[in-house]
Amino acid sequence: MANEILYFELNTGAKIPSVGLGTWQSEPGLVGQAVEAAIKSGYRHIDCARAYNNEKEIGLVLKKLFDDGVVKREELFITSKLWCNDHAPEDVLAALDKTLEELQLGYVDLFLIHWPVRMKKGAVGFLPENLIATDIPSTWKAMESLYDSGKARAIGVSNFSTKKLGDLLDIARIPPAVNQVECHPSWQQAKLREFCKSKGVHLTGYSPLGSPGSTWLKSEVLKHPVLVATAEKLGKTAAQVAIRWGLQMGHSVLPKSTTESRIKENFDVFSWSIPNDLFVKFSEIEQARLLKGTGFVHETLGQYKTVEELWDGEI
């Protein structure tokens, strides 16, 4: 019998469901249907963010599912994220309150600093003139007060390099529970993964399929011969293999789809496993980061002059 790996435990003691539905780039009109299909298929973890501009629609669906008795609030794990233009300590609480209002919730299970990047208040889009220097310690202090208040049952970060996570851990009163980063067989995050493990920070992988739905990202993750061969041998899809690989590596994964059949397929990853002789071959896959964050980098403006600085060389 395969180890199902339904949950991972966070440093708060809470359990994070191992597979969640990603909602980045899920279009309005489609995202609500996707969340409903996912929850009805058994998903209990929904990954949201203020910056995705779709929390209001997700909130309407959650309310309907609660009202109809499909699922209870306490059975779900809902994540949201603080956007770069709300990093000022006085804006952090208001940003979460806005998210809670749109999601029609009293609390989120996890609230993350979306990027280690700060923009001017009210900034829209990715104009370099909006980039300003971060003050992660003071932003984190405000995040800690959200945890104290119970409005965020856990707090964490996203897109933090090993160094940036280490710097935060050095000053944090409440350590981050999660670092959510790009993670898939073609970007396995070996250094960061080891560091997270040693510090009790859970790693969540976004774009676990290599973001095949993004037109502006050239991704061949699911076409890699190791994935294709493994899928053929196991009678699974390459996407299922990529998700299961993540679970067996010990991190939660956030596959994103708005197609009901794929949403269901992506959740069928618990009753089987990748045997060791096939699993070891994943370590041979050539590594390359897909999402480089170039919109947060500028030669003269903001904090990071190069992509290397943003990721502290982890590229």
- Say if residues 110 and 296 touch (Cβ distance below 8 Å): no
Provide the phi-psi class of 59: left if phi over 0, else alpha when psi is between -120 and 50, else beta.
alpha
If DSSP codes are grouped into helix, strand and coil, which group holds residue 97?
helix
Which DSSP state fits 46? Answer: E
- Say if residues 17 and 5 touch (Cβ distance below 8 Å): no
Spatial neighbors of 258 by CB under 8 A, at least 6 apart, are: 26, 27, 30, 31, 33, 34
Q: How far apart are CA 251 and CA 207, in angstroms?
A: 13
Q: Which of 52, 147, 206, 304 is catalytic?
A: 52
Is residue 52 annotated as part of the catalytic site, yes or no? yes
Q: Identify the CA nearest to 204 among candidates 237, 261, 246.
A: 246
Q: Annotated active-site positions, please?
A: 52
